[in-house]
């Protein structure tokens, strides 16, 4: 038996845990000993100091020795169960909300001295203790301090403490998984010592200790190592290296009206290296909105086509696919056959396209999910490009990489910048290229905040912009007026704005049919309308070079990163652009802070970091959907240094091609192994 297996054994194996108790543990999502140990105490109870009834202090949490005398169970809703007791011959009550009578009788038997612990109150002339917890004495009659756990009814603190103690008594000392240098940084504390410490000491007191830090580090390592294993696995697959002349792209770039930025060039170099290598590419390009990722991916496509392979380019929506298709038609020479395949493609055309993908006549196919239907069989797929798929989790990415076959490289693009510490957490299975530099011709987007009552000024400003040939986005949080929420609705707002912009205004929201949505977007793209009122449905990624103003209603409703994303829909051309944030009433201090961050920075990476500091990492941009389990202790903001250290350590292990060795234990314990078995 491996040493770690002890921790994975079921709690049923513990003496004293019967079927019933086990069920109570299941309620707390505790099924094995490791879960049990990770249910960490919320505080420390100094039970050894019982207080005399005359010295009790109202509002304090204290221990009292008392003798239960009489039960009062009123059986009326909202009335608590009450037990009259005596302490040093003086009256004191224990009261219980939401506790079963059986449980109360068990912990407070009549005429038996007990010590209870709880918050002291005073009601109708006597002391009372609300929802008290039972404290027991040790065999030699001494009281011992207990750790306080959040538990369900039926599980007593004493029992939990005893169980934890017995687990500790029997636990094997785990073989160390870290290198000496790493251990030194934590003053050589062992995992066993650490886990004991967090159960015996006041959490607040040890938060900065090596015991606590090491556990956090272990947790991060478990997370990073699994991603690293997946990446290694993907890279291990040998492919035929792609063979192309890196100079071919130059004549194509000359056709563009701009020079590439330094970061774009660097990205192209990194991708070229991957394409030419014998290992499969599995790379993410992370770049802020408007940083010019499309052209980078098209050059990758060009090189792959020149090496004799086909390319599949997938976008999340039809309209974005169409925009990429139009770009590709212009970009590639006529000898490269480009096609568009979406859900809307007519059956005859679809048949023709399917045929030509199969016989290798089509070199690059651009489209939506339709590209990966079973019916579509590629003759010679060499590269899959996926645009704007930040919501793909580890599992989906792995599936995708499997789809293409051994010779197929994968390039994913995302315009959702995340803080550095999170990149490894979320995209650790991929290599990551960052594009931070914005194209030179970009003017800064000016960000303003306005009160709703000053909407006249906003309309005036928009009219002026329109007279200069520019277009306006107008974003509302709701589709239709709501009786519950006092927010602007797109439908109402477009009616209101019609008074000012006449028939030059369009409306788009999630309940419109796809067809209708696309028609309106086309009208806007072709400048047939000046103002587009919408909910947040307009996807990131679509290029509206003439849109110079975005008005965002009820701006306090959105997170910082989302506001930055919305703002990124303007400012893609070379005109000066503005983002106007509208607020209902005067701003709170926190709201002011947020607006100032947006005004001060146009850097999505920085904004997402600030957002995370203000809101906690779980809430930012739906990381919850990313398939990453929430950390128990680690926090990418608070423990940045430990994340950095773990990243370095994992890279080192990768570089030296070390085996997981003792680290395997960590994956097992932290339940990452199930991911390995599933995915790898």
The residues that touch ligand ADP, with contacts defined as CB under 6 A, are 258-261, 264, 287, 289-295, 415, 439, 441, 541, 543, 545, 572
Which of residues 439 and 627 has its CB atom nearest to ligand ADP in the complex?
439
Residue 284 binds which entry of Mg ion, ligand ADP, none, CB below 5-8 Å type-dependent:
none
Q: How many residues in total does the chain contain?
A: 680
Which of residues 223 and 264 has its CB atom nearest to ligand ADP in the complex?
264
First to last CA, the chain: 24
CB 548 within 8 A of CB 576: yes
Tokens describing residue 603: 């850097």
> Shortest Cβ distance from residue 413 to ligand ADP (Å)?
7
Integer Cα distance of 497 and 553 in angstroms: 13
Which of residues 568 and 636 has its CB atom nearest to ligand ADP in the complex?
568
**Token match 């009335």: residue?**
79
Q: Going by C-beta distance under 8 Å and a sequence separation of 6 or more, which residues neighbour residue 491?
A: 479, 480, 481, 507, 509
Which of residues 160 and 325 has its CB atom nearest to ligand ADP in the complex?
325
> Shortest Cβ distance from residue 604 to ligand ADP (Å)?
10
> Shortest Cβ distance from residue 566 to ligand ADP (Å)?
13
User: According to the binding rule CB under 5 A, does residue 316 interact with Mg ion?
Assistant: no
Q: Going by C-beta distance under 8 Å and a sequence separation of 6 or more, which residues neighbour residue 402?
A: none
> Shortest Cβ distance from residue 439 to Mg ion (Å)?
13
Strand partners, 82: 72, 95
Which of residues 294 and 310 has its CB atom nearest to Mg ion in the complex?
294
Which region, judged by CB under 5 A, interacts with Mg ion, from 213-221, 225-233, 337-345, 535-543?
535-543
> Shortest Cβ distance from residue 547 to Mg ion (Å)?
15
**Token match 């995992």: residue?**
191
**Token match 């579509």: residue?**
376
> Shortest Cβ distance from residue 544 to ligand ADP (Å)?
9
Which residue sits closest to ligand ADP, CB atoms considered?
292
> Shortest Cβ distance from residue 387 to ligand ADP (Å)?
7
Among 68, 316, 541, 568, binds Mg ion (CB under 5 A): 541
> Other C-beta atoms within 10 Å of 134: how many?
18
Which of residues 93 and 288 has its CB atom nearest to Mg ion in the complex?
288
For CA atoms 43, 44, 50, 55, the dihedral sign is negative
Q: SS3 of 446, please?
A: strand
Secondary structure in 3-state letters for 2-30: CCCHHHHCEHHHCCCCCHHHHHHHHHCCC
Integer Cα distance of 372 and 297 in angstroms: 19
Which of residues 299 and 646 has its CB atom nearest to ligand ADP in the complex?
299
Which residue sits closest to Mg ion, CB atoms considered?
541
Residue 290 binds which entry of ligand ADP, Mg ion, none, CB below 5-8 Å type-dependent:
ligand ADP
Dihedral of the CA atoms 596, 601, 605, 609 (nearest 10)? -20
> Shortest Cβ distance from residue 543 to ligand ADP (Å)?
5
Chain residues in the site for Mg ion (CB under 5 A): 541
């Amino acid at each position: 038996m491996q040493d770690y297996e002890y921790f994975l054994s079921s709690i049923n194996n513990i003496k004293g845990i019967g079927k019933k108790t086990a069920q109570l543990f299941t309620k707390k999502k505790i099924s094995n000993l490791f879960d049990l140990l990770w249910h960490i105490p919320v505080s420390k109870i100094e039970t050894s100091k019982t207080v005399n009834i005359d010295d009790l202090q109202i509002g304090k949490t204290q221990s009292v020795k008392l003798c239960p005398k009489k039960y009062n169970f009123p059986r009326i809703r909202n009335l608590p169960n009450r037990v009259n007791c005596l302490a040093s011959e003086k009256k004191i009550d224990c009261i219980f909300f939401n506790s079963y009578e059986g449980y109360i009788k068990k912990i407070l038997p009549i005429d038996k001295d007990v010590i209870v612990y709880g918050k002291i109150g005073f009601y109708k002339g006597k002391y009372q203790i609300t929802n008290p917890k039972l404290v027991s004495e040790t065999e030699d009659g001494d009281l011992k301090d207990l750790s306080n756990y959040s538990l369900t009814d039926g599980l007593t603190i004493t029992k939990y403490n005893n169980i934890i103690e017995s687990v500790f008594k029997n636990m094997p000392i785990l073989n160390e998984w870290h290198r000496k240098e790493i251990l030194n940084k934590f003053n050589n504390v062992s995992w066993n010592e650490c886990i004991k410490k967090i159960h015996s000491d006041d959490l607040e007191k040890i938060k900065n200790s090596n015991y606590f830090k090491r556990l956090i580090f272990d947790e991060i390592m478990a997370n990073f190592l699994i991603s690293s294993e997946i990446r290694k696995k993907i890279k291990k697959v040998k492919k035929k290296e792609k063979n192309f002349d890196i100079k071919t792209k130059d004549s194509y770039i000359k056709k563009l009206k701009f020079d590439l930025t330094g970061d774009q060039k660097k990205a192209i170099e990194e991708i070229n290296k991957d394409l030419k290598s014998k290992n499969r590419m599995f790379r993410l390009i992370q770049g802020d909105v408007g940083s010019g990722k499309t052209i980078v991916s098209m050059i990758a496509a060009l090189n792959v086509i020149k090496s004799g392979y086909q390319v599949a380019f997938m976008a999340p929506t039809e309209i974005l696919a169409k925009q990429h298709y139009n770009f590709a038609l212009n970009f590639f020479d006529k000898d490269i056959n480009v096609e568009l395949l979406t859900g809307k493609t007519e059956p005859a055309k679809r048949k023709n396209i399917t045929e030509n993908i199969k016989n290798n006549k089509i070199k690059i196919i651009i489209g939506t999910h339709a590209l990966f239907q079973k019916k579509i069989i590629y003759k010679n797929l060499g590269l899959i490009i996926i645009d704007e798929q930040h919501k793909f989790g580890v599992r989906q990415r792995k599936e995708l990489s499997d789809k293409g076959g051994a010779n197929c490289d994968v390039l994913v693009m995302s315009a959702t910048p995340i803080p550095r510490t999170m990149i490894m957490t979320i995209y650790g299975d991929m290599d990551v290229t960052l594009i931070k530099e914005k194209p030179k011709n970009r003017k800064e987007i000016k960000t303003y905040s306005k009160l709703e009552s000053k909407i006249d000024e906003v309309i005036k400003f928009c009219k002026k912009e329109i007279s200069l040939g520019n277009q306006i986005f107008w974003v509302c949080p709701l589709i239709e007026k709501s009786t519950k929420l006092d927010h602007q609705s797109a439908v109402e707002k477009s009616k209101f704005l019609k008074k000012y912009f006449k028939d030059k205004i369009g409306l788009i929201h999630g309940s419109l049919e796809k067809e209708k949505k696309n028609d309106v977007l086309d009208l806007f793209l072709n400048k047939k309308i000046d103002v587009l009122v919408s909910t947040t449905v307009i996807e990131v990624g679509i290029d509206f070079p003439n849109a110079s103003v975005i008005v965002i209603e009820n701006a306090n409703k959105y997170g910082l990163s989302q506001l930055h994303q919305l703002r990124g829909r303007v400012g893609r051309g070379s005109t000066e652009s503005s983002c106007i944030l509208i607020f209902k009433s005067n701003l709170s201090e926190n709201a002011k802070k947020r607006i100032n961050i947006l005004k001060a920075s146009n850097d999505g990476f920085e904004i997402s970091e600030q957002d995370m500091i203000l809101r906690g990492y779980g809430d930012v941009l739906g990381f919850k959907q990313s398939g990453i389990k929430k950390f128990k202790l680690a926090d990418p903001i608070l423990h940045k240094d430990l994340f950095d250290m773990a990243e370095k350590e994992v890279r080192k292990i990768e570089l030296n091609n070390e085996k997981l060795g003792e680290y395997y234990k960590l994956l097992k314990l932290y339940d990452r192994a199930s991911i390995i078995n599933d995915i790898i």
